[in-house]
Structures are given as structure tokens and as C-alpha cells.
Amino acid sequence: MTNADTAAPVGFFHPTKPIYRFTNLLFISSLTFGSYFAYDIIGAIAPSLIGELKASRATVGTMNTMYSIAAILVLLFAGMLIDRLGTRKASIIFSILVFIGALVVWQAKTIPLMFLGRFIFGAGAEPLVVAQSAMLARWFKKKELALSFGVALTVSRLGSLFAFNNGELITKYFGSFRNALLAAVGACALSLIGNLCYFVMDKRGEKALNLREESAGDKIVFKDIKEFKPTFWYVTALCFTFYAAIFPFQSLSTDFFATKWGIALTAPASGSFLAQVFNNFRHIFSTAGGITSIIIFASMLLAPFAGRLVDRVGKRTTFMIAGSLLLIPCHLAMGLTNIYPVYPMILLGFAFVLVPAALWPSVPLIVKSNRVGTAFGLMTAIQNIGLGLFPLLNGLLRDRTGSYVASQTMFASLGVIGLVFALLLKRADRREGQGLETPQKAKA
């Protein structure tokens, strides 16, 4: 008889069983739920921050700027730290930083202390995303990898959806914006608990399955940078302009919708807090925070289908051109007209589905496989420069001019610049023969 014949049968919840792997997926996915909630809660409660703290819009924008400064600094070393300590230990460090940062922001009595908290928070949140990717590759590399990334992204964006739809409700119901910041601390605590559960399950699974440690992936190797072709730089430039026209806009869009259109911060309701939460989601198109969350909601619903469409038909540069083009009329309509913002926000949601679905999967097609980690790390760092600069500019322009017209013109201009880069990318792709317009070939 062989060893396999005499081996004891494994239990229902053994690491070799799918139930174990997918339970672990839930814990891995929960890692970034808290950080997404805590990041977006600032934009969600911007009107209350401005009112209660007597803070300028530029101050509110700077809170996201501090996050991005920390992210840029730490992303250069996060991959190396993950490779040195292992994903489990490094991710616990990142989760603790996220929790401490949210805690400092909640307890801060001065604006500089809030900035410090956002810096600490950013130092943990961005590398936690890198660690999460390594975890998913470790457990799902040869099984349902695309599905696992989709589930993790959906759970993360649920954090944003809850923040935008309920930030002002928490503030109103419990009497202060600090209760919304406390909710962010609670969300980060849940993510930390999820990480600890992953730690236990991964340690057990490592022995049973002989799992190998996956590289952190988004790790910059500077000697690789000089080898990148124009297609990579055009994709990176488009990444910078596109995301700078989305997330920095969202950092003050709740305030924008409330001040320009007089849209309510919360839906009228009575009853328990949970009943009011449910009611806010039912009225997503009639509250300022709900309208802000349309972009996130669209990406949660449509991103999986967009990814499959891109794989099937190709046309990656065409999708990037279309998405960049959509930014221009959407931002101009909100800045220069009184069109109810739901309609341009729905179109902005479509842009947020089209461009990321085509942009990120293009990188492995235009960069050699041994340089993909450097490419993603460099793109993310450059992206965060835009995410740090434009929330501050958005707030400054609003404070100086008294309206969001200049800000919306700035975001529309980013769409124009992104459109130019997308057109240059299409031309460079034809010249270099990278095949961005062709469907992905099915593997044998």
C-alpha cells in the first residue's frame, strides 16, 4: 500500500478544501475595507469638517495630500519589507499603522495632529494593498486568481460606498463629525482582526500545502526604468491624469453638491440608525454623499464585465481614449451648468469602469515579465503624486474663487491632457507592435 492509501482522511475545514481557501479569501478581502472607508470618510464629511472645525477647503484637501505623501515615500520600500519579513508579518505592521493613523485622526484636537494621523494612515494603507496582492497570489495563483482579485476589490470599495453614503448620517445622528471618524477607527479595527485571522489560517495552510512566499510584486528596481518604452510612459501619464481627475474631485464633491445644488447631506428619515442607513442607500441619487458614491457603485457593478470585455475584444487604447474623453464634458457640465449632477456622475462612473479595465492589464503587455513589478510600483508612486497634489489645488481654487468653476475646469483640463496621452499611446502601440488593440489570446 502507498502512503496516500494509508493517510488519514482530512477534515471538512482542512487547508486543502475549497471552503478553507474561500474563507481565507474573505479575511484577505477584509484587509482593505477599513482603509477604503477611512480614506473616503474625509470627503464624505467634508461639509461638517468645514463647518465644525472652521477649516478651509484647502485644509480638507490637504488631509488626502498627507496620505499620498506618505504613500509615495513608503511604496519605494514596502515591497522590499514584505519580501524580507514575509507577507504575514509585514501586513500586520501595515494594518497596525492604518489603525493607529485612524485613531490619531479621530482623537486629534488640532489640524496639524489630523495631518499627522493621515500621514501615518497613508504609510500603512498603500503598502497594505501591495501585501494583499501578494496574499491573493499565494493562495489563488493557480486557482481563481482573477476571481479573488475581483472579490477583494469589491469588498474594499464597499468601504468607500458605506463612507460616502453614511458619513454625514453618522455625524448627524450621533451629534458630531468625530463619531464618523470613530466609525473609521472601528472599520480599521475590523480589518486588523481580519488580518489576524488570515495570519492564523495562513500559518496553518503553509504547513499543510507547502505554500511558497510570493514576491510583493509592486517593487521598484531602478535599473529597470531606463528600459521602458514610450508606450509605458504614455500609460503612466494617462494613469496620473485620469486618477487625478477622479479621486481629488471626490475629496470635496459632497461639499460641492451640497453648496451648489443644495442637495441634502442625508435622506429624510426617522427610526433607528440602521433604518436610516438603509434609507440613505435607497436614496443614493438624492443625497450629496450618495451622488458622490455613484462612481464607486458603477465600478463595483460593471468592472468585472468590463475586464472580460477587454480580454475578449482588445481595443485597450480605444477604451482609454473613450474614458478620457468622457471626463471633459462631465466635469464641465458640473462646473458650468446647473444640470443635476447625477447624470454627469453616471457618465463619470462609466469612465471609471472603462479606463482602469484597459489601463492596468495593458502593463504586462508592454513591459517584460521581469520588469512588471517595477512598472506597477512606479505607476502607483506617480499616480499618488497626482492624488496628493490635486486635492490641495481643488480646495485652494474653491477658497480663492468662492465656487467650484475653476476646480471643474482644472479636472476637465486633466481629461484633455489624458486624451492627448491616450492618442499618443495608440500611435506608439502601432509603432511598437505591442498589441494593445488585439484580444488576449486564450491559453492552451
Q: Which of 49, 43, 61 is nearest to 288 (CA)?
A: 43
Amino acid at 443: K
The torsion defined by the Cα of 191, 195, 196 and 202, in degrees rounded to 10, comes to 160
Q: How many CB atoms lie within 10 A of CB 20?
A: 21
Amino acid at 113: L
Enter the DSSP assignment of 307: H
For domain 220-444, give the CATH number: 1.20.1250.20
Give the number of residues written for the chain: 444
* Highest CATH level, class, for 15-203: mainly alpha
Residues of the chain with CATH 1.20.1250.20: 15-203, 220-444
Cell numbers describing residue 52: 465644525
Q: Which of 150, 137, 122, 124 is nearest to 29 (CA)?
A: 150
pLDDT averaged over consecutive 10-residue blocks of the chain (444 residues)?
Answer: 50 76 90 95 93 91 94 81 81 95 95 96 90 81 71 88 94 93 97 94 81 59 78 94 95 94 89 89 92 91 80 86 95 96 95 88 80 79 92 95 96 96 92 78 42
Which pLDDT belongs to residue 10? Answer: 61
Q: How many CB atoms lie within 10 A of CB 114?
A: 25
Query: How far apart (Å, rounded) are the C-alpha atoms in residues 219 and 270?
Result: 50
- 87-107 and 177-209 helices cross at what angle (nearest 10)? 170
Query: How far apart (Å, rounded) are the C-alpha atoms in residues 162 and 41?
Result: 9
Cell numbers describing residue 23: 474563507
Query: How far apart (Å, rounded) are the C-alpha atoms in residues 309 and 374?
Result: 27
Query: How far apart (Å, rounded) are the C-alpha atoms in residues 163 and 27?
Result: 20
Terminal C-alpha separation, the chain: 36
Query: How far apart (Å, rounded) are the C-alpha atoms in residues 164 and 258?
Result: 13
Whether residue 220 contacts residue 79, with contact meaning beta carbons closer than 8 Å, is answered with yes
Query: How far apart (Å, rounded) are the C-alpha atoms in residues 212 and 251?
Result: 40
> Going by C-beta distance under 8 Å and a sequence separation of 6 or more, which residues neighbour residue 300?
154, 157, 158, 161
Cell numbers describing residue 351: 469612465
Q: How many CB atoms lie within 10 A of CB 318?
A: 16
Whether residue 385 contacts residue 68, with contact meaning beta carbons closer than 8 Å, is answered with yes
Amino acid at 171: T
Q: How many CB atoms lie within 10 A of CB 339?
A: 11
Cell numbers describing residue 171: 455625524
- Residue 228: CA count within 13 A, CB half-sphere: 23
